C-alpha cells in the first residue's frame, strides 16, 4: 500500500473525534463553538476525500485529459461550508448576547447565576 | 400553468417573502407579508395534496435538470400530507403571533422575527417536498438556524442559553446526517432518494452502509428529540416566545419524524432496516422509555410550557413507536399521530400563550381560578388536554387507538400497556392544570384580567376545533394516512 492510502479518512475521523470531544467536554461556550467547527470541518475533509479518483485530474475541462476527479462533492461541500459559516456566526452572536446577559461565558458560572437569581 | 409549478412555489413563496420583511422593516407591513406568504403556501400545499390524491406522486425537476443529476422535488402522499399540516399551522400561527409577539419581542426586532419565521417555514416545507438527500440537509439547516434565532428573540435571558444548547445539539444532529449521506454517496454515487433506494440493496451488507444507517438514525433522532437525545427541547420550548413554542412544537419535531420515515421507508425501502443492528429493539425501547419517563417528568413540572414540552417528548415516543412497527396499521398510526399531535400541541401552546399574554407567566400558582376569568382560553386548553389524554371524540383517541390496534396485531401486549400507562400519566398532568384553573377560588387581590384578544383566541379555537372535528370524523385523515403508509410500505417509489 502506498503512503497516502486511507490517510485522509484517518485524519477526518481523528478531527471528528477531537471536535466532538471538545464540544462535550468544554465548559467555555466559545471553546464549544470551536470544537463544533472542527467537527464540521472534519466532515468536509471526508467529503473531499470521497471525490478523489486515482490518477484523475482536477475537474476542469481541457484537452488531452480523460480522467477527472468527481466534482459533485466539492459543490456539495461549498454549500455545507456556507451552512457551517452561518452556524458559526449565529453561535458566536449568541455567545456575545449570553456574555451581555450573564457577564460570563463559562457554563458552570451561568448555572450558578441562574440558580442564585 | 401555475399548478405544474406548485411543488417549488410551496418553498419559494416563503423563502422570497422573508427578505421582503427585512426590507419593509415596519412591523405591520412585515406581518402582512408573512400572512400573505404563509397562507399562499397553505393554499399551494392543499393544491398539491389534491393533485397527489388525484394522480399519484408528483415529480418536479428543479431548473429542468432531470433526476438523478438535478435536484428533484418529489411529493407523494406522505410528503403532501405533512406539507399540509405544516403550512396550516404556519398560516394559523401568523395571525396569532401579531399580538403575542408585540408583547414578547422587542419592538425593533419584530420584523426580524417575521423574516425568521418565513425562513423556518420555507425550510420545513422544503424538507417535505425534496427528493434529494443532500438538499434535505440544506433545508434542515435553514429551518434549524432560523428556529435558533426565533428562540433567542425572547426577552428572558434563559432563552439565550436554551437557543445555544439547541444550536450545539442541532448542529451535531445535522452533521451526523451529513456524514450518513456522504457514506451512502460513497457506495452508490447518487443523492436522489429514489435512485438510492434502487442501488442500496446491492451494498446493504457493507460496513459503510451500516455506519451510514447508524449516523442517519442518531442524527435525525437528535433533531426529533427522541429520549435520551432530547436535552435541548424542554428549555427551548419553555423560554421561546409563545407563538414560537406553538409553531415549533407543532411543526419542527414533526418534520424531523417525517425525515425518519423518509430515510427508513424511501431511501432504505428495499433493505430490511429494522432487522439490522437491533434497530427495531433499540428504537422500540427508547420510544417506550420516552413515553413513560417524559410523561412522568411532566407530572412534576410547575411551569405549564415546560410541562407541555415534556409531554411533547412523550408524544414523539408514540410516533417513533408507530414507525417502528413497520406494519400498515403501525405506520398509519405514526403518521396520523404526527398530524393529530400537531393540532393538539398547537392548540395547547397557543392557549398557554394567551395566558402568558395576560399574566406574563404561566405557572401553576398563577393560574388559580383562571377558568372563570379567561373561560374561552382555558376551555381550549381543556380540549387540547383531553386530546392529549386520548379521550374519545378527540383526535388523540383516533391515533392512540390506531397504535394500540397495531400493537395488538403484532401481539405486543406490553406495548399496549405502555401506551395506556403513558395516557394515564397524561391524565395526571392535564388534570392538575384543569383542577387549579377551574376548581380553585380566585386568590384575593388577583389582577382583574380580561379574556385574550380575539386575534389570539380565534386561531387557538381554530386548532382546538380541528382537534374535535378530526376526532369526530376521522375518515379523511385516516384514509390519507393509511394511503401514505401503504405507499411507503409498497417499496421503492
pLDDT in tens, A47-90: 988 888 777 777 788 887 888 888 888 889 999 999 999 999 99
**pTM of structure:** 0.93
Whole-number Cα distances in Å, A89 to A82, B13, B64, B90: 11, 26, 34, 27
Phi, psi of B450 (to 5 degrees): -95, 170
Q: Is B195 left (phi over 0), alpha (psi -120 to 50) or beta?
A: alpha
Alpha carbons within 13 angstroms on the beta-carbon side of residue A117 total 11
| Residues in chain B, total | 493
Query: Which grid cell is B30?
Result: 412585515
pLDDT (mean) for A85-96: 95
Query: Which grid cell is B367?
Result: 393560574
- Concatenating the DSSP letter of every residue in A76-94 gives HHHHHHHHHHHHHHHHHHH
Residue B338 to residue B89: CA distance in whole angstroms: 13
> Could you tell me the residue ranges of all domains in chain B?
278-493
What pLDDT is stored for residue B453 in this prediction? 86
What pLDDT is stored for residue A4 in this prediction? 65
Torsion (CA) B284, B288, B289, B295 in degrees, nearest 10: 150
CA A52 to chain centre: 20
Query: Which grid cell is A97?
Result: 448576547
B-chain residue closest to A51, CA distance: B186
Instruction: Give me the helix-helix angle, B454-472 and B77-104, nearest 10°.
Output: 150
Mutate to test the interface with A, among B157, B188, B235, B240 (most CBs of A within 10 A): B157
Residue B168 touches partner A, C-beta closer than 8 Å: yes
- Concatenating the DSSP letter of every residue in A20-44 gives HHHHHH--BHHHHHHHHHHHHHHHH
**Among A47, A79, A94, beta carbon nearest to B167:** A94
Residue B293 to residue B345: CA distance in whole angstroms: 19
- In tens, the pLDDT along B103-115 reads 888 888 899 999 9
Mutate to test the interface with A, among B70, B133, B160 (most CBs of A within 10 A): B160
What pLDDT is stored for residue B1 in this prediction? 62
**Among A47, A83, A110, beta carbon nearest to B138:** A83
Q: State in Å, rounded, how far the first CA of chain A is from the last one.
A: 62
Residue B61 to residue B69: CA distance in whole angstroms: 10
Question: Which residues on chain B are in Cβ contact (under 8 Å) with A86?
Answer: 141, 145
Q: Which of A78, A17, A19 is nearest to A44 (CA)?
A: A78
- In tens, the pLDDT along B309-359 reads 999 999 999 999 999 888 889 999 999 999 999 999 999 999 999 999 888
What pLDDT is stored for residue B493 in this prediction? 38
Phi, psi of B306 (to 5 degrees): -65, -40
Give the position of cell 457506495: B187
Question: Which residues on chain A are in Cβ contact (under 8 Å) with B158?
Answer: 114
Residue B153 to residue B160: CA distance in whole angstroms: 8
**CB-defined contacts A:B, below 8 A:** 69
**Among B134, B137, B175, beta carbon nearest to A39:** B175
Question: Which residues on chain B are in Cβ contact (under 8 Å) with A91?
Answer: 164, 167-168, 171
Residue B11 to residue B38: CA distance in whole angstroms: 10
What pLDDT is stored for residue A7 in this prediction? 86
| Residue B57, burial from CB neighbour count under 10 angstroms (0-12, 13-18, 19+) | middle
**Among A43, A80, A94, beta carbon nearest to B152:** A94
Contact criterion met (CB below 8 Å) for B345 and B249: yes
3-state secondary structure of A60: coil
Residue A88 to residue A97: CA distance in whole angstroms: 14
The answer to whether the Cβ–Cβ distance between B149 and A90 falls below 8 Å is yes
Residue B185 touches partner A, C-beta closer than 8 Å: yes
Contact criterion met (CB below 8 Å) for B150 and B116: yes
Residue B332 to residue B478: CA distance in whole angstroms: 8
Question: Which residues on chain B are in Cβ contact (under 8 Å) with A95?
Answer: 164
Contact criterion met (CB below 8 Å) for B457 and B382: no
Provide the shortest C-alpha distance from residue B413 to chain A (in Å): 39
The answer to whether the Cβ–Cβ distance between B161 and A98 falls below 8 Å is yes
Torsion (CA) B304, B305, B308, B312 in degrees, nearest 10: -170
What pLDDT is stored for residue A2 in this prediction? 59
Residue B491 to residue B330: CA distance in whole angstroms: 16
- Concatenating the DSSP letter of every residue in B288-306 gives HHIIIIIHHHHHT-SBHHH
Flag residues of chain B having pLDDT under 70. Answer: 1, 491-493
Question: Which residues on chain A are in Cβ contact (under 8 Å) with B141?
Answer: 83, 86-87
The answer to whether the Cβ–Cβ distance between B167 and A23 falls below 8 Å is no
Task: Tell me if ipTM is over 0.90.
Answer: yes
A12 pLDDT above the threshold of 60:
yes
Provide the shortest C-alpha distance from residue A60 to chain B (in Å): 18
Provide the shortest C-alpha distance from residue A20 to chain B (in Å): 8
Question: Which residues on chain B are in Cβ contact (under 8 Å) with A47?
Answer: 182
**Among B134, B167, B172, beta carbon nearest to A76:** B134
B-chain residue closest to A43, CA distance: B179
What pLDDT is stored for residue B492 in this prediction? 39
The answer to whether the Cβ–Cβ distance between B172 and A39 falls below 8 Å is yes
- In tens, the pLDDT along B415-452 reads 899 999 999 999 999 998 888 888 888 877 777 777 88
Mutate to test the interface with A, among B70, B155, B182 (most CBs of A within 10 A): B182
Contact criterion met (CB below 8 Å) for B150 and B120: yes
Amino acid at each position: 500500500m502506498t503512503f497516502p492510502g486511507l490517510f485522509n479518512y484517518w485524519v477526518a475521523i481523528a478531527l471528528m473525534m477531537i471536535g466532538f470531544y471538545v464540544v462535550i467536554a468544554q465548559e467555555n461556550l466559545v471553546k464549544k463553538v470551536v470544537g463544533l467547527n472542527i467537527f464540521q470541518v472534519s466532515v468536509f475533509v471526508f467529503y473531499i476525500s470521497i471525490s478523489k479518483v486515482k490518477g484523475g485530474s482536477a475537474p476542469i475541462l481541457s484537452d488531452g485529459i480523460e480522467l477527472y476527479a468527481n466534482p459533485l462533492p466539492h459543490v456539495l461541500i461549498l454549500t455545507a461550508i456556507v451552512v457551517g459559516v452561518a452556524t458559526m456566526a449565529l453561535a458566536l452572536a449568541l455567545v456575545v448576547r449570553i456574555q451581555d446577559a450573564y457577564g460570563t461565558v463559562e457554563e458552570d458560572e451561568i448555572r450558578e447565576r441562574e440558580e442564585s437569581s | 400553468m401555475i399548478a405544474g409549478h406548485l411543488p417549488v412555489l410551496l418553498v419559494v413563496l416563503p423563502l422570497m417573502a422573508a427578505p421582503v420583511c427585512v426590507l419593509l422593516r415596519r412591523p405591520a407591513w412585515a406581518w402582512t407579508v408573512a400572512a400573505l406568504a404563509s397562507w399562499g403556501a397553505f393554499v399551494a400545499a392543499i393544491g398539491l395534496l389534491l393533485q397527489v390524491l388525484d394522480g399519484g406522486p408528483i415529480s418536479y425537476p428543479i431548473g429542468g435538470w432531470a433526476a438523478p443529476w438535478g435536484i428533484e422535488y418529489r411529493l407523494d402522499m406522505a410528503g403532501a400530507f405533512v406539507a399540509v399540516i405544516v403550512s396550516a399551522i404556519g398560516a394559523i400561527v401568523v395571525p396569532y403571533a401579531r399580538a403575542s409577539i408585540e408583547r414578547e419581542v422587542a419592538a425593533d426586532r419584530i420584523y426580524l422575527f417575521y423574516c425568521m419565521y418565513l425562513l423556518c417555514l420555507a425550510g420545513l416545507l422544503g424538507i417535505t417536498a425534496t427528493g434529494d438527500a443532500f438538499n434535505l440537509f440544506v433545508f434542515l439547516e435553514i429551518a434549524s438556524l432560523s428556529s435558533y434565532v426565533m428562540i433567542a428573540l425572547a426577552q428572558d435571558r434563559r432563552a439565550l442559553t436554551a437557543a445555544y444548547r439547541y444550536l450545539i445539539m442541532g448542529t451535531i444532529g445535522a452533521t451526523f446526517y451529513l456524514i450518513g449521506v456522504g457514506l451512502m454517496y460513497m457506495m452508490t454515487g447518487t443523492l436522489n432518494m429514489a435512485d438510492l433506494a434502487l442501488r442500496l440493496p446491492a451494498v446493504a451488507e457493507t460496513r459503510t452502509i451500516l455506519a451510514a444507517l447508524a449516523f442517519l438514525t442518531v442524527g435525525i433522532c437528535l433533531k426529533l428529540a427522541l429520549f435520551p437525545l432530547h436535552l435541548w427541547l424542554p428549555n427551548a420550548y419553555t423560554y421561546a416566545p409563545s407563538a414560537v413554542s406553538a409553531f415549533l412544537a407543532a411543526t419542527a419535531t414533526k418534520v424531523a419524524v417525517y425525515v425518519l420515515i423518509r430515510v427508513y421507508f424511501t431511501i432504505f425501502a428495499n433493505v430490511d432496516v429494522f432487522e439490522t443492528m437491533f434497530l427495531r429493539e433499540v428504537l422500540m425501547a427508547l420510544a417506550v422509555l420516552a413515553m413513560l419517563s417524559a410523561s412522568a417528568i411532566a407530572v412534576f413540572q410547575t411551569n405549564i410550557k415546560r410541562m407541555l414540552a415534556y409531554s411533547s417528548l412523550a408524544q414523539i415516543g408514540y410516533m417513533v413507536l408507530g414507525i417502528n412497527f413497520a406494519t400498515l396499521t403501525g405506520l398509519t398510526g405514526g403518521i396520523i399521530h404526527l398530524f393529530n399531535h400537531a393540532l393538539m400541541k398547537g392548540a395547547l401552546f397557543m392557549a398557554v400563550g394567551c395566558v402568558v399574554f395576560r399574566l406574563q407567566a404561566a405557572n401553576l400558582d398563577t393560574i388559580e381560578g383562571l377558568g372563570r376569568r379567561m373561560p374561552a382560553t382555558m376551555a381550549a386548553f381543556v380540549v387540547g388536554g383531553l386530546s392529549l389524554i386520548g379521550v374519545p371524540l378527540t383526535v388523540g383517541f383516533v391515533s392512540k387507538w390506531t397504535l394500540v390496534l397495531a400493537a395488538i396485531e403484532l401481539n405486543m401486549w406490553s406495548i399496549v400497556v405502555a401506551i395506556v400507562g403513558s395516557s394515564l400519566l397524561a391524565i395526571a398532568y392535564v388534570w392538575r392544570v384543569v383542577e387549579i384553573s377551574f376548581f380553585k377560588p380566585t386568590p384575593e387581590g388577583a389582577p382583574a384580567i380580561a379574556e385574550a384578544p380575539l386575534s389570539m383566541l380565534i386561531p387557538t379555537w381554530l386548532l382546538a376545533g380541528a382537534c374535535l372535528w378530526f376526532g369526530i370524523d376521522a375518515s379523511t385523515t385516516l384514509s390519507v394516512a393509511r394511503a401514505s403508509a401503504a405507499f411507503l410500505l409498497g417499496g421503492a417509489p
